[in-house]
Amino acid sequence: MVYGMLCGIVSGLSQPNLPAASVRVAASKIPEVTVWFWITKVLITGANVAWPDYLYRQFGVVLVGGGIGLVFLAILALQFSLRSYNTWTYWLTVVAVSVVGTEVGNGLHTELSLPYLAVAALYLAVLAAVLVTWRASEKTVSPRSICTPRREMFFWAAAMAAFAVGGAVGHLTTRAFQLGFFQQGYLALWAAVTGLTALAWWRSRLNPVLAFWSAFVVTRPLAAAIAQPPRPSICWL
């Protein structure tokens, strides 16, 4: 499993205590991670599953890809320009990062014919590299410590890589297990994986940082399964 591959890299990272002032600033840039955080993240991610592909078919990859890139940079600039947490801007940035992160993963498969297994492994390595560099630079990789532009840059880079990993792994499981996006097995699989991740965190058997980024990855295919409800199975003769 994806988060198992990260375990040896970040599970042993200790999180130093932050001064109270820093904690307040961090909370004002990144929302508190609660069950509502994950519900919102899943809903936003699910809403962004289908429409990029529709636009690609209507207007072409170059035009749509360029437009998405420009909008992404504008939203990211807006998020970084703010000195405190703004709900609408933060979640709008999540929208942009979820789209771009998913598309950079899909692009390696559709445009370069790279297998989804290789795409997942590549972006998993990118995610691990971001976390390790973040830790070496800032001495913490806790999502609660996003109190400087540099840390926020690391956060969004990790988020984009996590979306790319999640998208690739989601496609990979549909092919490997022949579940299909529109079959109940796909939803059941990722609901179970997400539940196990939450249980591991709740039982304190999983490092909080590893738990957060594992959940960030696995809720991507979960959102795709929820956004595309099951259809009646078709028997192929």
Query: Average of pLDDT values for 72-97?
Result: 93
Virtual torsion, Cα 171, 175, 181, 183, nearest 10 deg? -150
Range(s) of the domain holding residue 59: 28-227
- DSSP E strand boundaries for the chain: none
70: its two tokens: 């420009």
Note the pLDDT of residue 88: 93
Number of structural domains, the chain? 1
How far is CA 202 from each of CA 198, 210, 212, 213, rounded to the nearest angstrom? Answer: 6, 13, 12, 15
Note the pLDDT of residue 60: 81
Domain contains 53 = yes
CB 131 within 8 A of CB 145: no
At residue 148 the predicted structure's pLDDT band, cuts being 50, 70 and 90, is confident
Domain contains 62 = yes
98 has a pLDDT exceeding 70:
yes
Q: What is the pTM of this model?
A: 0.81
Residue 125 CB neighbours (<10 A): 14
How does pLDDT run across 179-234, given as a tens digit for each residue?
655 556 778 888 899 988 888 877 767 788 888 999 999 999 999 888 875 444 43
Report the alpha-carbon distance of residue 138 to residue 149 in Å, rounded. 11
- Residue 57, Cβ density class (10 Å: 0-12 exposed, 13-18 middle, ≥19 buried): exposed
CB 26 within 8 A of CB 80: no
Domain contains 1 = no
Note the pLDDT of residue 190: 87
How does pLDDT run across 25-52, given as a tens digit for each residue?
444 488 888 899 999 999 988 888 778 8
Note the pLDDT of residue 24: 40
Note the pLDDT of residue 229: 55
Domain contains 182 = yes
Helices H, strands E: what count in the chain?
A: 10, 0
CB 170 within 8 A of CB 221: yes
Query: Average of pLDDT values for 82-105?
Result: 91
* Continuous segment of H or E residues that includes residue 6: helix 2-10
Note the pLDDT of residue 141: 85
**Mean pLDDT score of the chain, rounded to an integer?**
79
Domain contains 136 = yes
Note the pLDDT of residue 12: 37
Domain contains 5 = no
Of 156, 131, 108, 110, the closest CA to residue 7 belongs to 131
Domain contains 15 = no
Note the pLDDT of residue 181: 55
How does pLDDT run across 134-144, given as a tens digit for each residue?
999 988 888 77
Residue whose structure tokens are 């375990």: 7
Note the pLDDT of residue 179: 60
Sequence-distant (6+) residues with CB within 8 A of 61 are 111
CB 157 within 8 A of CB 132: no
Domain contains 16 = no
How far is CA 190 from each of CA 50, 140, 169, 184, rounded to the nearest angstrom? Answer: 18, 29, 11, 10
How does pLDDT run across 48-80, given as a tens digit for each residue?
877 887 888 888 878 888 899 999 999 999 999
CB 143 within 8 A of CB 197: no
